[in-house]
Structure 1
Amino acid sequence: MTPFVSLAGKRALVTSGTRGAGAATVKQFRELGAKVLTSARTRPDMLEEGVQFVAADLTSAEGCDVLGAAVRDRLGGVDIIVHMLGGSSAPGGGFVALSDAEWHNELYLNLFPAVRLDRQLVPDMVGQGSGVVIHVSSIQRELPLPESTTAYAAAKAALSTYSKSLSKEVSPKGVRVLRVSPGWIETEAAARLAERLAKQAGTDYEGGKKIIMDALGGIPIGRPTKPEEVANLIAFLVSDRAATITGTEYVIDGGTVPTA
């Protein structure tokens, strides 16, 4: 019986694919038959069987050059790019706490790696007349938390605008470009945060999760998204089942963003 979704024979790059939703996406791609290369700053102790790895700091132009060359050398080109890399190390304290250095850090982590890698790899997709690019954004671009995520949210908003523009340029040439915007994902890092907040508040892990959900304005389904659920969405979008979907954004947040 033919599976509903297959990535057999596809060559995929997933940045930041060693933990969280990135690792879940790498695992899903491998199970669906794709040949996968992923990256992080350091090689993890555990790596999905059959996955190729490149150590690279993608916040630098040099790191992006290293990864772009590895994609061409090891995969012989690419059919799928998932820009999973992102995050924030900015301090709390609102906009006045954000120095020029903090703003640069957020942009060099959340925007420039996608811009630089696309500039290297998407022309080859155009040349072959096919390919899919996924830019992983965040609901923070619509619902920033002023205390702590202003710069991160602005960088993700810039990524989203760039993604839409790229889709308009290359979709007529056979390359689909989409955005996936998760809300709170229950990664290992998120679990540690919930545990820390629970300890401070004198409650249990579920209580710690509720503190985070309340800070986000609530999650109607009552729980965060699992990394595997993000991976499932991405796997469908890059598959041939989604062949006419391009230029749009898919929010996966349990209903956090209010809609009319």
Structure 2
Amino acid sequence: MKQSSNPDTGLSGKIALVTGGTKGTGSAVARRLLQAGATVIITARNAPQQPIDTMCFIAADLSTSEGTRYVVGEVLSRFGRLDILVNNMGSSETPGGGYRVLTDEDWEHTLRTNLLAPVRLDRGFLPQMIARKNGVIIHIASIQARLPLYDSTLPYAAAKAGLLNYSKSLSNEVSPEGVRVLTVSPGWIYTDSAGRMAERIAKSTDTTIEQAKESIMKALGGIPAGRPAQPEEVAALVGFLVSPEANYLTGTEFVIDGGTIPTI
């Protein structure tokens, strides 16, 4: 693939899909790819609150096999191919309290959302990427794959660890076929939902939002950078990884956590 001298148009002519692309990090990634010249498709269960005239939105519940099949069919029928797949969708909605409070449904829903959805989408889009010997798949994992918080996100951490392992295995299989597979593992990202969480903590503990943020960072073992990441910083990393400038990168995990993980 020929390298572009202009990063703002380096993805011109590319078709990209960002799951969970209506808010938070997914929205920032979608905007970044759009800025780089790609045709961007976003998918989520609910339509975005802000107008997205420059993007294509497909409503689907990707935690179900029917939802993933629908998205694959819609993308390929409308656009004929997919060049870039960013598996960003992920969530942890299980109660705190560790293994004692978790039900089968808690585990199954978390695994469907955070592991099986990417697996199914990859399986749906890989054949046409391999046929063209061209494509990039990004899996958004989490540092919790290596630094789990058992009291609050046990199933989520386990699912992301599985995603990390699967991503490496898939890369070994399809990289010789011309498809790059990479993992991005963020630490704490200060999205709107993270801000609301900080507000709830501040209200319940009668502290300031800054003090609440400090308590969250302390619970993570500290962030040497002194702050959470901004969604745009994660998006900038993804934008580079899917660009022609990163053509020799595959099978690798990129951690963006401000130094949170204390080991090498």
TM-score of the two chains, using structure 2 as the length reference? 0.96
Aligned to 2:198: 194
What is the CA–CA distance in structure 1 between the aligned matches of 2:75 and 2:12, rounded to whole Å?
A: 18
From 28, 36, 39, the equivalent of 1:35 is 39
What is the CA–CA distance in structure 2 between the aligned matches of 1:75 and 1:239, rounded to whole Å?
A: 20
Aligned to 1:92: 96
Aligned residue pairs, count: 260
Give the letter for the 2:35 counterpart.
E
What is the CA–CA distance in structure 1 between the aligned matches of 2:183 and 2:52, rounded to whole Å?
A: 25
Aligned to 1:133: 137
Aligned to 1:69: 73
Contact kept in structure 2, 1:18 and 1:47, CA below 8 Å? no
Identity of aligned residues (%): 52
Write out per-residue CA displacement over residues 166-220 of structure 1, whole angstroms, 9 at most, x where no aligned residue: 1000000100000000000000000000011111222211111111101111100
Give the letter for the 1:3 counterpart.
N
Write out per-residue CA displacement over residues 110-146 of structure 1, whole angstroms, 9 at most, x where no aligned residue: 0011111111101110000010000000000111111
Contact kept in structure 2, 1:180 and 1:249, CA below 8 Å? yes
Contact kept in structure 1, 2:14 and 2:84, CA below 8 Å? yes
What is the CA–CA distance in structure 2 between the aligned matches of 1:69 and 1:173, rounded to whole Å?
A: 22
Q: Which runs of 5+ in 1 are unaligned?
A: none
TM-score of the two chains, using structure 1 as the length reference? 0.98
Q: Secondary structure at the match of 1:147?
A: helix
From 19, 26, 30, the equivalent of 1:26 is 30
What is the CA–CA distance in structure 1 between the aligned matches of 2:100 and 2:195, rounded to whole Å?
A: 29
Output the aligned Cα RMSD: 1.1
Aligned to 2:6: 3
Q: Secondary structure at the match of 1:250?
A: strand
Write out per-residue CA displacement over residues 43-82 of structure 1, whole angstroms, 9 at most, x where no aligned residue: 1221433100000000111100110011102221111000
Q: Secondary structure at the match of 2:40?
A: strand
Contact kept in structure 1, 2:7 and 2:36, CA below 8 Å? no
Give the letter for the 1:152 counterpart.
Y
Aligned to 2:62: 58
What is the CA–CA distance in structure 2 between the aligned matches of 1:49 and 1:256, rounded to whole Å?
A: 38
**157-166 vs 200-209, which moves further:** 200-209
**199-208 vs 20-29, which moves further:** 199-208
Q: What are the residue-to-residue correspondences of 1:1-260 with 2, within 5 Å?
A: 2-4=5-7, 6-260=10-264
Q: Which runs of 4+ in 1 moved over 6 A?
A: none
